[in-house]
Structure 1
Amino acid sequence: MKKHIFLTLFKILFTSIVFCYVFVAFKEKEKDYHIDEITVKRLNIVDESGEALRMVISNETRQHSGILNGKEMPQRERPAGIIFFNSVGDECGGLLYNGNDEQAGMVLSIDQYRDDQIMQLQYQENTFDDKRKYGLQIWDYKKEDGFDERYERYLELNTIEDKELREQRIAEMKSDSLWMEDRMFVGKNFQNQVGLFIKDQSGNARIRVYIDENDEPKFELLDKEGNVLGNK
């Protein structure tokens, strides 16, 4: 009888020890898991809750469409790369790239809070005729918190085929301070000019300091209409 009780207790104790060992080993492995290689089509990085996105690494087919003001954007074509999301869940920038026999490019974008991109480190190339542009690009948005209205107007623009009507709608957006204005570019442009190109709040070129395609240095001041006021 005593032997039977001893064997029963021994089995219970042994089973408990094995269970604890497996449980601890599993928890340790879950806490610090190492692998040499992983192949995926999309990888979602989330916060500690396991729900809110912080980063998406994806191929072009499964790329995230973006979130702004808590609303997910409609599905659209986006290159492969990385999309970043801030602590309120909005897209706040990304690293995207692509390349083929017609065009190639890579951009590191930084978005304004609750709005679209305001700065890019960019490379663009027309691979068919070897035309390239690369450098730092900066934009401005005149109207604060204007993304939702601007986005609706952009969607309307995409449905307009008449060139004259399209230009009219763009002029209206500029008048309403909804157009994204180019403010500065530092780098090499498609005209093979390397330098600093600055525009005013309305997107008019005002200062150009560059070396042209003939290796001639240029320093130009311009009025709002684009007329050169000074050239050195």
Structure 2
Amino acid sequence: MVAYAGVLTAAFAITVLCGFAPRAARFDTLQVQRIDVAEPDGTLRTVISNHARLPGIIVRGKEQSFERPQAGILFYNDEGSENGGLIFGGHRNANGEVADSGGSLSFDRYDANQIVQLLGVDDHQDRMAGLVVSDSPEKASGHRRIWLGRGDDGAATLALMDGAGRKRLLFQVPAEGDPSLVFLDTQGQVVQRLAPATT
């Protein structure tokens, strides 16, 4: 009887403990509209969402309305402020034109705007793919400082801008034609152009 009671008690204890132990779940398919990943205190750290439920801009846990035509993943810092994301989209508008087609991976400076962005866009308004590096001062609009990529004209370009966002140096290889190195003044006027010698 003692042995029976001991076995029964052990079995009961195992059942209770296993019933409350955290378990990993496996699914073949999981379909959701949005997933929020948060810290134990509720601070938002990551949102994975469709277009309809992608949040606006969240700063220190407070959301400000902001229309985004994409779906994607948004990243938040330790204070619950957005600091980057991976977004993507694309559809046809009422005129049948491809709109908002492309993707972007960006990283923000603490308490400021984007400092690095990798993007690719190909729709009825824009055709570009490249890497952008920007200044991003706190509580102020930043300026693009480096563009490395391909633009609407098909040219492969490395553009270097000054602190005010003005193009000052361009390395460019057009889709057809000779490469060039162009120096510009603060008004955007060409002050010197270097190109291969013609034969």
TM-score (normalizing by structure 2): 0.83
- State whether structure 2 residue 65 is matched by structure 1 residue 75: yes
Aligned to 2:147: 185
**For the residues of structure 2 that align with 1:86 and 1:71, how far apart are their CA atoms?**
10
Distance 1:199 1:18 in 2: 72
Deviation at 1:31? 3.8
For residues 124 and 228 of structure 1, what CA distance do their matches in structure 2 show?
Answer: 28
DSSP-derived class of the 1:73 partner: strand
Aligned residues of 1:135 and 1:187 also touching (Cα < 8 A): yes
Could you say what secondary structure the match of 1:201 adopts? coil
Question: Which 10-residue stretch deviates more, 71-80 or 99-108?
Answer: 71-80
Equivalent position SS for 1:19 = helix
Q: Which residue of 2 aligns with 1:134?
A: 129
Asked if 2 retains the 8 angstrom alpha-carbon contact of 1:96 and 1:107, the reply is yes
Whole-angstrom distance in 1 between the partners of 2:28 and 2:16: 24
Query: What does residue 54 of structure 1 align with?
Result: 45
Where 1:136 maps in the other structure, the secondary structure is strand
What is the aligned counterpart of 1:231 among 187, 190, 193? 193
Shift of 1:90: 1.4
Question: Between the two proteins, what is the percent identity of the paired residues?
Answer: 26
Pairing partner for 2:108 from 100, 106, 111: 111
For residues 179 and 11 of structure 1, the distance between their equivalents in structure 2, rounded to whole angstroms, comes to: 73
| SS of structure 2 residue aligned to 1:24 | helix
In the alignment, structure 1 segments of 5+ residues that lack a partner are: 1-5, 147-177
Confirm or deny: 8 A CA contact 2:61 2:80 kept in the other structure. Answer: no
AA aligned to 1:76 is F
Tell me if structure 1 keeps the 8 A contact 2:57–2:66. Answer: no
Q: Structure 1 residues 50, 27: CA separation in 2 closer, same or farther (over 3 Å shift)?
A: farther
Displacement of 1:181 in angstroms is 1.4
Look up the match of 2:24: 32
**Which residue in 2 is equivalent to 1:43?**
35
Deviation at 1:200, TM superposition (A): 0.8
Q: TM-score, normalized by length of structure 1? A: 0.72
- Aligned-partner SS, 2:135: strand
Tell me which residue corresponds to 2:177: 215
8 Å contact from structure 2 (residues 113, 141) kept in 1: no
Give the superposition deviation at 1:77. Answer: 2.0
- 1:81-106 per-residue CA deviation (whole Å, 9 max, x = no partner) reads 00011112211100000011322010
Structure with the larger helix share: 1
Shift of 1:12: 8.8
| 1:93 match: secondary structure | strand
Aligned length: 187
CA RMSD of aligned residues (A): 2.3
State the shift of 1:189 in Å: 1.1
In 1, Cα distance between the equivalents of 2:177 and 2:88?
Answer: 31
